C-alpha cells in the first residue's frame, strides 16, 4: 500500500467451491497473515500464506477471496491517484501473477468565513462554529480530527469524537478525506454581532475533485461563507415577539377607544 493508506489488519478469507453458489469462511488455521520478516526488497504491507495441506485439497475452479481494509491517514494525497494498493499472487517456484492496482481517491473542502469590510475587502471572521453533514437536516454528521502538525486542517475519522470546527483569526479551515458526494455545511454558532446563516450551505464534490455550491455548476476554489452584521428578530413564539404582539394589540385597542369616543362626542 502507498504510505497514504494504513492497513487495518482485518484479513478474512472465504472460498467459493467449484459448482456451488455462495462463499464459506476458511478456517484461519489454513493460512497465516504476516506483516514482517519478508525477504530483502519485498515492500509488501502484508502476506497471506496458505498451508500446503489446504492447497492440496483445492479443486479446479475453486475461488479464494481475501477481504481486508485500510483507511486513509495523514499522508494521503488529495485529488490525485497516488493512494494505491497493489495485489498479486505468488505460487510455485517464484512465479507471480500480474499486479492488480486499486486507487482510493479522496477530496477536501476548504472554507473561508468572512464579512464585507469595504467594497473590495473581505474580513476574516473568528469564532464561527460549523459542522459538516451528509443530510440537509444536520444528520449523518461527519466526525473529524485535527490533522497532525497542520493548523486549521481536519481529517475525516469515523472513530473521532469531534464534529465541530471553530474558525480562528484567519477565518479558514479545510476538511480532508471526503468522498465525492453531496454535503451540507451548517453554522452552529455565529460570531458575536453577526447574523447566523438561516440554512446550511449545500456543497457538491464531483468525481473530478471540483467543488460546486448549491445548484450552481460553476466550480469554486473554496467555499466562502459570508456573515452580515446585525441582530435577528426573535423567533416566532419567543418573548420578544410576544411583546411586539401585546404592544401592537394595545395600540389597536387604544385607537378604537379614541374613535368611539369621538363618535359619541359628535
Distance CA 163, CA 144 (A): 6
**0.75 surpassed by pTM:** no
Q: Which residues contact 106 (CB under 8 A, 6 or more apart)?
A: 72, 76, 77, 78, 79, 83, 176, 177, 178, 179
Q: Which residues share a beta bridge with 91?
A: 95
Is residue 85 within 8 Å of residue 101, measured between CB atoms?
yes
Distance CA 231, CA 235 (A): 12
Domains of the chain: 5-103 (no CATH), 108-226 (2.60.40.10)
Q: Which pLDDT value is given to residue 177? A: 93
Per-residue pLDDT of the chain (266 residues; tens, 9 = 90+): 999 999 999 999 999 999 998 999 999 999 999 999 998 889 999 999 999 999 999 999 999 999 999 988 888 999 888 899 999 999 988 899 999 999 999 999 999 999 998 778 999 999 999 999 999 999 999 999 998 888 999 999 988 999 999 999 999 999 999 999 999 999 999 999 999 999 999 999 998 889 999 999 999 999 999 999 875 544 334 444 444 444 555 555 555 545 555 555 55
Q: Which pLDDT value is given to residue 130? A: 98
Amino acid at each position: 500500500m502507498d504510505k497514504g493508506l494504513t492497513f487495518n489488519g482485518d484479513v478474512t478469507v472465504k472460498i467459493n467451491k467449484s459448482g456451488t453458489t455462495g462463499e464459506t469462511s476458511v478456517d484461519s488455521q489454513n493460512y497465516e497473515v504476516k506483516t514482517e520478516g519478508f525477504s530483502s526488497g519485498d515492500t509488501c504491507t502484508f502476506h497471506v500464506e496458505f498451508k500446503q495441506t489446504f492447497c492440496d485439497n483445492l479443486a479446479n475452479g475453486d475461488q479464494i477471496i481475501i477481504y481486508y481494509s485500510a483507511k486513509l491517514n495523514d499522508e494521503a494525497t488529495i485529488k490525485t491517484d497516488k493512494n494505491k494498493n497493489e495485489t498479486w499472487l505468488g505460487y510455485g517456484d517464484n512465479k507471480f501473477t500480474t499486479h492488480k492496482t486499486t486507487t482510493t481517491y479522496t477530496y477536501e473542502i476548504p472554507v473561508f468565513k468572512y464579512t464585507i469590510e469595504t467594497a473590495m475587502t473581505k474580513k476574516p471572521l473568528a469564532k464561527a462554529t460549523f459542522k459538516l453533514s451528509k443530510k440537509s437536516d444536520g444528520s449523518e454528521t461527519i466526525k473529524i480530527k485535527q490533522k497532525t502538525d497542520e493548523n486549521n486542517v481536519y481529517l475525516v475519522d469515523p472513530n473521532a469524537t469531534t464534529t465541530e470546527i471553530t474558525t480562528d483569526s484567519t477565518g479558514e479551515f479545510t476538511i480532508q478525506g471526503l468522498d465525492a458526494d453531496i454535503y451540507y455545511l451548517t453554522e452552529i454558532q455565529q460570531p458575536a454581532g453577526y447574523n447566523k446563516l438561516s440554512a446550511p450551505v449545500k456543497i457538491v464534490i464531483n468525481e473530478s475533485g471540483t467543488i460546486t455550491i448549491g445548484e450552481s455548476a460553476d466550480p469554486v476554489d473554496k467555499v466562502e461563507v459570508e456573515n452580515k452584521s446585525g441582530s435577528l428578530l426573535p423567533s416566532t413564539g419567543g418573548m420578544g415577539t410576544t411583546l411586539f404582539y401585546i404592544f401592537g394589540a394595545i395600540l389597536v385597542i387604544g385607537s378604537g377607544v379614541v374613535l368611539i369616543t369621538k363618535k359619541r362626542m359628535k
